[in-house]
Amino acid sequence: MTARGIRGRLLSFLREPRGAGDSESYRYVNDGLVVVKDGRIEAAGAASELLSTLPADAPIEHYPDALIMPGFIDPHIHYPQTQVIASYGAQLLEWLEKFTFVEEQKFADPGHAARNAEFFLDELARNGTTTACAYCSAHPASAEALFAAAHRRNAGMIAGTAIMNRNGPPGLLEPAREAIAASRDLIRRWHGTGRQRYAVTPRFAITSTGEQLAEAGALLVEFPTVLMQTHLDENKNEIETVKRLFPDEPSYTAVYGRFGLLGPRSLLGHCIHLDDDEVALLRETGSVAVFCPTSNLFIGSGLFNYKRLASAGVRIALATDVGGGTSYSMLRTAAEAYKVMQLQGQNLPALLAFDLITRGNAAAVGLAGEIGVITPGAYADLVVLDARSTPAMAHRMEITRDLEEELFVLMTMGDDRAVRQTYIAGKPALAA
């Protein structure tokens, strides 16, 4: 395949910023060029140096004022919840029963799953998200539909069918009866097929027996490169229920530890109401706490304490959690993260937010160097961002002094309208 060039203002993070103003944490090239070949980045740097390396007939897309960044990564999202988003008036357990389990049962129909998988992937691309770690429904065919659709687009998705065997409607528990065998089958078919990867997905401790959680843990031993995703310490009633179901365990986090579900490949959504021992357990095991601000505010779950977990050495990722979350946009998600932190007297510098949703989330899902950065060898998954995409943003940008302030405008006011283009493995995903 011939090379192509994507030209504009390049921004990619090298490491986690230590705070606002940490200009050593990123690489910025004002007139930059990304050279793409066979879906990967061949070179990235100053256009003045790289333009002459492109073959004369290579197409070049030029975005003079736009920022070109690595595509966003959403490490916690539910693809069967595209019609659960914006469900009124309930907190977690009631919200699950009243809205979520109802919609997820519809994924027994493979046609419904296929249509929703295409919608989901379109919507991610429109928002500049190039990789997501997605929960599927309890029906293995729902995971099959998502993987097949993502594979056709050469989009790198991580997904798993939700494992559950109690405390849910028969419509979800019955297909999940063979959940472990079905997960194993899906891992064999899809984990490492093209860009697809598998995440073993016990929904949460309430919907699985200890026996099933142990079987999920055994899958992680059997397949040492698959990920694990579940929910943890999101809501007070949820935590009380887990205590009743697992009376011998000292904490909710300990339940997952007991069944081999903690570790560097484990993504734990929410982590709001942790006690000190639970924080220590997350740190010791290298597990990832996934901060889902729009969801935590919308479902009324509580405030994620970023500073407490970061200073304890817990790995942190940032995600939408659609349909508990209210936006597919990682920009909106960063804006809400900022507000959740403000409510606790903390700050989220724009540099840290953009590092989190690119390089940081890539590291969280075990794909450091593959995605989330603009460096040779990485997939050419890119987002082209326009900080003047609305009149209000353009007006605000008139007095913006530097890159960091531009990033803060983007995360505070930006959404899908700020996404001019999204490249997936070097190919434009949006109609020009």
CA 267/CA 110 separation, integer angstroms: 27
28 DSSP 8-state letter = E
- Could you tell me the smallest distance in angstroms from the CB atom of residue 210 to ligand GUN? 17
CA 371/CA 373 separation, integer angstroms: 6
Indicate which of ligand GUN, Zn ion, none lies near residue 204 (CB less than 5 to 8 Å, by partner kind).
ligand GUN
- Whether 399 and 158 have beta carbons less than 8 Å apart is answered as no
User: Which residues, listed in sequence order, are joined to residue 291 by a DSSP beta bridge?
Assistant: 318
- Could you tell me the smallest distance in angstroms from the CB atom of residue 177 to ligand GUN? 19
- In the numeric block, the tokens 């977690």 are attached to 92
Give the residue, chosen from 74, 104, 234, 321, that forms a contact with Zn ion under the rule CB under 5 A: 321
Which residue number, 332 or 396, has a Cβ lying nearer to ligand GUN? Answer: 332
Which residue number, 103 or 415, has a Cβ lying nearer to ligand GUN? Answer: 103
Which residue number, 278 or 321, has a Cβ lying nearer to Zn ion? Answer: 321
- Could you tell me the smallest distance in angstroms from the CB atom of residue 278 to Zn ion? 18
Contacting residues for 370 by C-beta, under 8 A, at least 6 apart: 156, 362, 378, 379
Centroid of chain to Cα 410: 19
Which residue number, 321 or 404, has a Cβ lying nearer to ligand GUN? Answer: 321
Map residues 257-276 to x or -, x wherever contact with Zn ion holds by CB under 5 A: ------------x-------
- Whether 292 and 272 have beta carbons less than 8 Å apart is answered as no
- Whether 422 and 379 have beta carbons less than 8 Å apart is answered as no
Indicate which of ligand GUN, Zn ion, none lies near residue 171 (CB less than 5 to 8 Å, by partner kind).
none
Which residue number, 91 or 412, has a Cβ lying nearer to ligand GUN? Answer: 91
| Binding residues for ligand GUN (CB under 6 A) | 78, 92, 96, 100, 203-204, 231, 234, 295, 321, 324
CA 142/CA 160 separation, integer angstroms: 9
Beta strand 26-37 pairing with 40-46:
antiparallel
Q: Look up residue 164 and give its two tokens.
A: 């559950």
Burial level of 427, CB count in 10 A (0-12/13-18/19+)?
middle
Beta strand 315-318 pairing with 288-291:
parallel
Please tell me whether residue 104 binds Zn ion under the rule CB under 5 A: no
Indicate which of ligand GUN, Zn ion, none lies near residue 142 (CB less than 5 to 8 Å, by partner kind).
none
Which residue number, 260 or 324, has a Cβ lying nearer to ligand GUN? Answer: 324
- In the numeric block, the tokens 């989220």 are attached to 348
- Could you tell me the smallest distance in angstroms from the CB atom of residue 289 to ligand GUN? 14
Which residue number, 71 or 269, has a Cβ lying nearer to Zn ion? Answer: 269
Indicate which of ligand GUN, Zn ion, none lies near residue 191 (CB less than 5 to 8 Å, by partner kind).
none
- Could you tell me the smallest distance in angstroms from the CB atom of residue 13 to ligand GUN? 28
Chain residues that interact with Zn ion, rule: CB under 5 A: 269, 321
